[in-house]
Amino acid sequence: MKYVFSLGLGAVLALLMISACSDPNDNVTQANTGDAVEVETAEGKTLSFDQSTSKVEWRGTKTGGGHDGGFEKFEGTAIVSEDGKTLKQVKVTIDMNSLWSDEDRKEEPDPKLSNHLKSDDFFSVTEYPNAEFVSSEIKEGGDGGKSHTVTGNLTLRGVTKSVTFPADITVKDGKVTAKAEFKIDRHDWNVSFNIPGGEVILHDDVAIKLDIATK
């Protein structure tokens, strides 16, 4: 009985260790990244984002854990066809100074993480105060059962790359809702800092979550 109990306890501990080391970003779709593409402004009706319901969030992970966060200030537009049935283009501009992390929203807020992310080690928001995404193509059908595939240019820290990712998009009653979650390799945008010593490693991929609705 002692042997069986020890074996069972060992299996439980092993499962706990695997769970603790798992990366929540592993299950997030990797965006296809490439050189910047040419973008032309689409024709149609322009709708503004509803700031009260829209969200732009992120999740970064490291050895043994990670952090969630987002941006308090951003603005965007969606261009729909004249008949109001098709999303033609979307543009998002993010105020990088408005970055927040889960550490800021604890009962006793700690701004050290968000301040570090704003520094030259990461996003260098003094030199690059804004990030921007503008789509070049939105087509029906997407990986993982998503309704659409979106391609466009993402500019971050002064670097512009094209990204392609799946999204769920609905255009109804003159309004647009769009949801997407994908991950990018931060090194592609020259965000290459890691923790000295190597005991804790910041993972390369960062998840971006968009939850957008127009007015």
**pLDDT category, 21, cuts 50, 70, 90?**
low
CATH number at residue 75: 2.40.128.110
The pLDDT value given to residue 5:
41
State the first-to-last Cα distance of the chain, in angstroms, to the nearest integer: 65
The pLDDT value given to residue 158:
97
Q: What is the pLDDT of residues 177-201, one digit of tens each?
A: 999 999 999 999 999 998 887 767 8
The pLDDT value given to residue 7:
42
Does residue 213 or residue 1 have the better pLDDT? Answer: 213
5 in any annotated domain: no
> What range defines the domain where residue 30 resides?
23-213
**pLDDT category, 17, cuts 50, 70, 90?**
very low
Residue 180 tokens read as 């997407």
1 in any annotated domain: no
108 in any annotated domain: yes
**pLDDT category, 8, cuts 50, 70, 90?**
low
116 in any annotated domain: yes
Q: Please give the model's pTM, rounded to 2 decimal places.
A: 0.87
Q: What is the pLDDT of residues 133-161, one digit of tens each?
A: 999 999 999 999 999 999 999 999 999 99
Helix (H, G, I), strand (E, B) or coil at 181: strand
175 in any annotated domain: yes
For a pLDDT cut of 90, what percent of the chain falls above it? 82
12 in any annotated domain: no
Contact 11, 18 (CB under 8 A): no
Angstrom distance (rounded) from CA 100 to CA 111: 8
Confidence check: pLDDT of 6 > 50: no
Arithmetic mean of pLDDT over the chain: 91
For a pLDDT cut of 70, what percent of the chain falls above it? 90
Q: How far is CA 124 from the centre of its chain?
A: 18
Q: What is the pLDDT of residues 91-129, one digit of tens each?
A: 999 999 999 999 999 999 999 999 999 999 999 999 999
Structurally, the chain folds into a number of domains equal to: 1
18 in any annotated domain: no
Half-sphere exposure of 48 (CA within 13 A, CB side): 5
For residues 183, 54, 100 and 18, what is the CA-based torsion angle, rounded to 10 degrees? -40
84 in any annotated domain: yes
